[in-house]
Structure 1
Amino acid sequence: MSAASPSYIDTYYRRTLASGESYPPAEGPIKTEVCIVGGGLAGLTAALELARAGRSVVLLEAERIAWGASGRNGGFVSPGYATSLAAIERQAGRDQADELYRLTMEGVDIVRHNIESLGIVDAAPSPGIMRVVRHDGGAALQQERDAQEKRFGRNLRYLDREATRALLSSPKYHAALADDDAFHFHPLNYARGLAREITRLRGTIHEGSPVLAAELDGPIKRLRTARATIEAEQVLFTTGGYTGNLFAPLKRAFLPIATYVLLTEAAPELIGEAIRTSAGVGDDRRAGDYYRLVEGGSRILWGGRITTRTTEPRNVAALLRHEMVTTYPQLEKLKVELAWSGLMSYARHLMPQIGQYRPGVWYCTAFGGHGMNTTAAGGTVIAEAIRGENDRYRLFAPFGLVWNGGPFGTAAVQLTYWRYQAADALRERQR
């Protein structure tokens, strides 16, 4: 790519890219059946499913493939949504909540199948994710394990305090649920593997091609970039936290929320004193930490904290390192090599927003908090709908494009997060 072309920010994933292929900006008049705006994992999954069905598809990405949250996240692939199953059931009813949850289990299988069938070895999937509690909640975890097995057939393992601390040598942890069927991986290499398959199937991808204007009325939709005009029968918007004002209903329907990730220096012996499992780990706080070992256990990838700030704070590494060291005091001397942030999109109801805005205009977005399975499931069901195969996307109808509250919504999210932090801290002190 030329010097003026967009590039990835400095992250662990950029430093460990498996390949360097790029895709040219869109130029001239282009005609296609489906135009997808947004090159994150939802857009890539939808494009792949459409290309597999023989549909002509053009994907437009303003920066690089998976440039935003899709290529900067923790890489955890496990069932569930950002909100609880109980909250979904209150909104949609038990039967629909069950279908929605099973769809996230399908999303995990979709990612796994794509890695295996496409030979994306550099996605480097590693099995196992543990959810740990920072208070004495063992009885509740056992009840959850039993309920998940009965309701969804999931096989989760309960670990008591002794078993948990044998793997995670932290005084903060009291018990855990281990999901051996979940996994963690390199999301940027995975995304680029999907892109390669899309182009192999004669789909078209254009990077560095932000859409500047869109005419969405009528049977033929027209989108304009700096150097191209695209005509399409169907348009799908899969933009996330970096969405601009192109499609106002989306911009008003979710909030960009920042999260942060750090990479430690290589220190396998020191890290091994604290963390003795290759499984990914996330705690039970409502805005808790998540982390996993990379490079054969020699480094830690540690994420956490959320904020409505859209600019990266200068002390992001110090903030995350404080969380790491208070969890594992034995890591006091472990240095941080790199830290970065990324914007996720959250709806007020904390569910993905997936649907049809008007005939031929679709949206598939707001995957913040649990995006690796839900982008796969969402991209798949919206592709099915565009192909006219089924209407599974309607499962998300109770969770539509609800107004985000504008600046009041942003303030409410930040205040809620601070309230959660205070409640979590009080709960830990009372354990």
Structure 2
Amino acid sequence: MASAYIDTYYSRTVATSETYPAATGRTQTDVCIVGGGLAGLTAGLKLARSGRKVVLLEAQRVAWGASGRNGGFVSAGYATGLSSIERRVGRDQAKELYRLSMEGVEIVRRTIDELDLQDAKLVPGIAKALRYDSRGALQAACETQQREFGLNLRYLPRDEVRRLFVSPKYHEAILDEGAFHFHPLNYGRALAREAASLGSAIHENSPVISVDLEGARKIIRTRDAEIAAEHVVFTTGGYTGAVLPALKRAFLPIATYVLLTEHAPELVRSAIRTRAAILDDRRAGDYYRLVEDGSRILWGGRITTRTTDPRDIAALLRREMVTTYPQLAGLKVEIAWSGLMAYARHLMPQIGQWKPGAWYCTAFGGHGMNTTAIGGMVIAEGITGESDRYRLFAPFGLAWNGGILGRTAAQLTYWSYQAADAAKEFRSR
């Protein structure tokens, strides 16, 4: 019996109900993908289109983890800023990596068009907003990105920001008109359907229990199956187990929380008067958007290293929402949920070849919708020999996560960011 998706807005509005059988017996294949999130599904579809025989193993359901229960934001960039990337790899390579992130946005958009995915519910526009006056820095950054990368950006001064987002908290914003938000679970399931239609074997409820990566043929075992493959790709994200210890040690599982409000179009309209989504510029800040034709708000935030759910997710997030928009004090929460993202300590995706024939493509936390797409694509290109673009991510490898001390340091870092953000906000009052 197939395991269920957790109760989220996305699982409640999923477009199709197909399931995939658990893996059984012995199978030989060209590529075995471990993990059925968006990175694994993107790689699998690209490989299938390239004529490779693919077996994909998912421990739960297709897009069950962060891939199918996130905020649904698709925009260029990474969890860390361009200046941090430049310090590690230099200006030229940093710009090349940023362009890959832009390509990831276009991969998702193009796939939605090619497969005519009306159920992906694509809505254009994401605004990145500040809760303080940057004194010209935000507008200058907007002009720089327009000039260097050709992004379709528009600077919004305070009056325009507060007309669209009726909150005293916001001072200015950049509207990325080339970015969009969408229904990631419907998108992920569509990738699986298309890969299956091309002959890929998709298996749900098939957790991998052991691997042997030493020989020319890699051996991957589930409870009831053994797969021999020339290549194996690990795309397991925040729910990575201990099958490949080097991968387990190289990321921090970070939790984030999301709520869905009740259906209340007039009340929602009193606060948010645009279909563009909003991304709070604070580190670990809020991100939210309208769904169901503007009648509900999907609101996310509260990043933490705590991997167990707090007692009342809805109350925590609702407090943030009402603090931002006091006019929403009467808006009720219908459902709230959490999920684990994978973060590397360097805040970049971990994409590469661990040893010949063994690949990894993970740690997309904080900016996963575009980076899962380009990550899956460049790994598939590496396997087929089409390109070696995956090597651009080599400086951001499987660095040790620091164990318990790493989690503590990450949480302390987030708290320090929050304190700094609060100080900026206070000074702008």
Tell me whether the two structures share a fold, i.e. TM-score over 0.5: yes
Q: What letter is aligned with 1:243?
A: T
2 CA distance for matches of 1:314 and 1:190?
31
Aligned partner of residue 344 in structure 1, secondary structure: strand
Moved more, 415-424 or 37-46: 415-424
Aligned pair count? Answer: 428
C-alpha deviation, 1:155, in angstroms: 2.4
Mapping for residues 223-372 of structure 1, pairs under 5 Å:
223-372=220-369
1:383 aligns with 380
Aligned with 2:92 (options 86, 91, 95):
95
1 CA distance for matches of 2:299 and 2:36?
25
Q: Structure 2: state its 5+ residue gaps.
A: none
C-alpha deviation, 1:138, in angstroms: 5.2
Aligned partners of 1:134 and 1:428 also within 8 Å: yes
Post-superposition CA distance 1:94-152 (Å, at most 9, x none):
00000000001000000000001011110010000001100012511110111001111
2 CA distance for matches of 1:53 and 1:275?
44
Q: Within the alignment, does 1:183 sit opposite 2:176 as a pair?
A: no
Q: Structure 1: state its 5+ residue gaps.
A: none
2 CA distance for matches of 1:329 and 1:284?
20
Aligned with 1:417 (options 408, 414, 418):
414
1:86 aligns with 83
1 CA distance for matches of 2:394 and 2:127?
31
1:193 aligns with 190
Q: Within the alignment, does 1:55 sit opposite 2:49 as a pair?
A: no
1:400 aligns with 397
1:145 aligns with 142
Aligned partners of 1:138 and 1:174 also within 8 Å: no
Aligned partner of residue 238 in structure 2, secondary structure: coil
Q: What letter is aligned with 1:61?
A: E
Q: What letter is aligned with 1:27?
A: T
1 CA distance for matches of 2:269 and 2:210?
52
Moved more, 97-106 or 151-160: 151-160
Q: What letter is aligned with 1:329?
A: P
Q: CA RMSD in A?
A: 0.6
1 CA distance for matches of 2:423 and 2:374?
36
Q: Within the alignment, does 1:207 sit opposite 2:183 as a pair?
A: no
Compute the TM-score of the two structures, normalised by the length of structure 2: 0.99
Q: Within the alignment, does 1:132 sit opposite 2:129 as a pair?
A: yes
Aligned partner of residue 13 in structure 1, secondary structure: helix
Q: Percent identity?
A: 68
Q: What letter is aligned with 1:303?
A: G
Q: Within the alignment, does 1:170 sit opposite 2:161 as a pair?
A: no
Q: What letter is aligned with 2:302?
A: R
Q: Within the alignment, does 1:10 sit opposite 2:3 as a pair?
A: no
